[in-house]
Structure 1
Amino acid sequence: MSLARSLVDVRPLRTSPAFRRLLIGRTVSVLGGFMTMVTVMYQVWDTTRSTAWTGAVGLAQALPLVVFGLFAGAWVDRADRRRIFLAATVGQAACSALLAVQGFTGHVPVPAVLLLVAAQSAFGALGAPAAGVFVPRLLPRDQVAAGLALNQITGQSMMLLGPALAGVLLGWFGIGVCYLLDALSFGCAFYGAFGLPALRPEGEPSRAGVQGVLDGLRFLAGHRAVRGALITDLAATVLSFPVSLFPLVNTGRFGGDPRTLGLFLSALAVGGVLATALSGPLTRLGRPGPVMLCASATWGAALVLFGLSARPWAGLALLTVAGAADATAVVARSTLVQTRTPDALLGRVTAAEQIVGQAGPSLGNVRGGLLAGWTSGATALITGGLLCVLAVAGVAATTPELRAGRVPAPGPAKA
């Protein structure tokens, strides 16, 4: 196999100028988003010195996605997705601009900051389902996986760069500049989508309100492959997500050195970047179901070995493997969801995927923290990884549609 075919498939960048603009705009915006995430945590901690308040930041980010996500998806499936995405992007930029204003002026109560964070997350809950239809509408079907892999590798890269850049800028210029740069980054996302054609749903539009949401849930309940993909993701996160255990593991293996704590998350991100950079063969394979199942099982197995490992640097290497498996599973799952879901339902299904992606890790962190408190960090890691592997095996055994998992025959781009 040639080196070029081993690397991430870049055909979407050549064949679709619209996708190329979207990717550039999304990458800059994601960078700004990670900078704001770090800046909010820093500001709240600096103001309150309370872990309860810093925990509330995550709640402010997650709750709007969970509460509004499915209703936003139903709205997206009734209207022009491009216009909704542009409106949501303006809303997010306005929230970042207001955060910048309070960052420059100071003396704003923490609840007001969290309210702005929640408002920005609510706009994100609207924009994400709209953006979820862009890749399958702009690319031929045989390039959808490649487009999603390019989204993944840029997102993982910004996850590495954004927090580090935020730390430097916070030290040099303060919180106001970081928020302002995030507000400006949304301009790139707006430009990326502005030139798109109208992207109204293909097929019967969603019914209004609760009925439209219920139609989406009925599709999820009845489509075995898509349902199995989301259950697999929940199994991998709720049963085994390890991030809440990292401080405990860091204390046991690195003596609690704060300089090494960041290495745990960095190891996951490095694994994700490497796996996506070498994703060419898997995205060309056209079998996202088996790829997702194998990658999810590898994630669980790597966490079991991480829990068993007594050598600190070997543990970080296993986390790199886990990060690679997670990134591979995400690309495969998104490919399966976006190629198996009718366009008229794609906003609602993408919203459900976003909710699973937000709620699963949060619940997994709670599970890991409680179990570690009753037993130990190693026990929580090992049992979580084993449960993940068993759950993935159960999904594979009961969902032959995932084991086959071949994407339908390629078709031309639709927009």
Structure 2
Amino acid sequence: MPSYYLAATPARFADEMVAFTLVLLVLDRTGSAALAGVTGAAYALPAVLTGPLLGAWLDRTAYRRSALALNQATLAAVMVALLFAVGHSPLWVAPTLAAVAGATLPLVSGGFTSMLPSLFTADRLARANAFESASFSAATIAGPATAATVTAVASVETAVIVIVAAACFSIVAISRLPVLPPLGAGGEAFLASVVSGLVHLARTPRLRASTVTTTLLMGFTGVLLITLPVHMRALGHPESAAGYLWTALEIGSVTTALLLGRIQPRWRPEYIVMVSIAAYGVVLGSWPLASSFVVLLALAVVAGLAEGPTLPSMFAARQQYSPAALQGRVSTTAASLRVGAAALGQAAAGLLVPIAGSRTTLLIVAAGLLLAAGLGRLSALTRKVPVHA
């Protein structure tokens, strides 16, 4: 367990820093919210296409460590290139570079997570899922906060260097992971194996409910990523202060993820996902009413407490409703949908925030989270299919 989380958490930390630092870097050098949104979207959108392909390959290869390490090496190289490109080259260069780093992005979440059933016995999976959620949350806590602090104390360029260092550390930790045998796919053609993962996600109602809800969640999270720095200006604070809101949100999230990890298996995971996201939306609806940054921080912690059970339950849904041979494809395909939705959210926010304002956009996000939970419930209302242990 320690070796796995030492490899996965720094990679996710770097990824969480990227999402926020890209926005700060583009805003700092160009002042364009639209370009910031497009660059963030370019970092995430390629994952929509690459996720299913990477998952099918992961299920049939023994070189998972090499793939994870290559992803981190690519990220480090692209971030160095962005230091020289943003603000000093044509506008299309930054989104193009971001897209190169984003092509293997599903490996950071789905690629690591798909290894859990191979690394842990069935009786330890619930606890492993709780710690996996804590890994994501720890990265989300530390990533934006580090980006905000380093940017405020030093510069956004220094924050980029921190990302490069984290990616390099992750490569070293990945080399210590065990070599795992291929999970399946046997003699199945590669493209057929890609399709089988997509079909399984689409035709398994309980898994589909969790996937629909969490994918829409990430879409509205992408909107928040652009909205919050702009909202900080409305409250009289620097844009980088938004990083502390993400930290407060994840402090609440990791708290409930760890405290409720042992009892969550008592309920069906897709139900926990939908209820948590709906509660998150209700709390987030109060954010535009906050008259000070301190109040907003407190509300962010409460929102995190409501959203906390989501990730462990999302992992549990993938594991419970998918056979072992499909774990890689299901994890990376679902991750690619989430990343793609976040990209679309960022792009939409780049256009929406200048028109509607940050307060109205926050209300739209809150309503959208309630809609996500409702659509997730509707997507489960079909015939039942066999559930895999």
Query: What TM-score comes out, normalization by structure 1 length?
Result: 0.75
Residue pair 1:240, 1:300 contacting (<8 A) in 2 also: no
Q: Report the identity percentage.
A: 23
Deviates more, 1:21-30 or 1:152-161: 152-161
Distance 2:17 2:142 in 1: 9
Q: Do structure 1's residue 233 and structure 2's residue 214 form an aligned pair? A: yes
Q: Which amino acid in 2 is paired with 1:27?
A: T
Alignment coverage as a number of residue pairs:
380
Residue pair 2:26, 2:35 contacting (<8 A) in 1 also: yes
What are the Cα deviations for residues 252-305 of structure 1, in whole angstroms up to 9, with x where unaligned?
6x3566575444323322221222232333345364233223212222322344
Residue pair 1:85, 1:127 contacting (<8 A) in 2 also: no
Partner of 1:220: 201
The two structures, once aligned, show a CA RMSD in angstroms of 3.9
State which of 27, 30, 33 in structure 1 corresponds to 2:15: 33
Residue pair 2:207, 2:270 contacting (<8 A) in 1 also: no
State which of 92, 114, 138 in structure 1 corresponds to 2:72: 92
Residue pair 1:23, 1:192 contacting (<8 A) in 2 also: no
Residue pair 1:129, 1:350 contacting (<8 A) in 2 also: yes
Partner of 1:165: 146
What are the Cα deviations for residues 204-233 of structure 1, in whole angstroms up to 9, with x where unaligned?
454222x33222222222211111211222
Query: Equivalent residue of 1:347, what SS?
Result: helix
Distance 1:259 1:130 in 2: 30
Q: Do structure 1's residue 78 and structure 2's residue 60 form an aligned pair? A: yes
Residue pair 2:207, 2:321 contacting (<8 A) in 1 also: yes
Deviates more, 1:374-383 or 1:289-298: 374-383
Larger Rg: 1
Residue pair 2:127, 2:262 contacting (<8 A) in 1 also: no
Query: Equivalent residue of 1:201, what SS?
Result: coil
Shift of 1:21: 0.4
Partner of 2:37: 55
Residue pair 2:59, 2:183 contacting (<8 A) in 1 also: yes
Distance 1:121 1:161 in 2: 20
Distance 2:88 2:204 in 1: 48
Q: Unaligned regions of 5+ residues in structure 1, if any? A: 1-18, 409-415
Distance 1:257 1:168 in 2: 11
Residue pair 2:144, 2:243 contacting (<8 A) in 1 also: no
Shift of 1:200: 0.6
Q: Do structure 1's residue 373 and structure 2's residue 353 form an aligned pair? A: no
Shift of 1:181: 1.0
Distance 1:282 1:400 in 2: 28
Partner of 2:315: 334
Distance 1:385 1:34 in 2: 21
Distance 2:105 2:85 in 1: 26
Residue pair 2:230, 2:239 contacting (<8 A) in 1 also: no
Partner of 1:9: none
Query: Equivalent residue of 1:280, what SS?
Result: coil
Q: 1:386 to 1:183 in 2, by over 3 A?
A: closer
Deviates more, 1:326-335 or 1:275-284: 275-284
Shift of 1:144: 1.7
Distance 1:201 1:90 in 2: 21
Q: 1:128 to 1:315 in 2, by over 3 A?
A: closer
Query: Equivalent residue of 2:183, what SS?
Result: coil
Partner of 2:271: 290
What are the Cα deviations for residues 34-61 of structure 1, in whole angstroms up to 9, with x where unaligned?
4455554454445444334322321231
Q: 1:318 to 1:107 in 2, by over 3 A?
A: closer
Q: Which amino acid in 1 is paired with 2:67?
A: A
Distance 1:105 1:348 in 2: 35
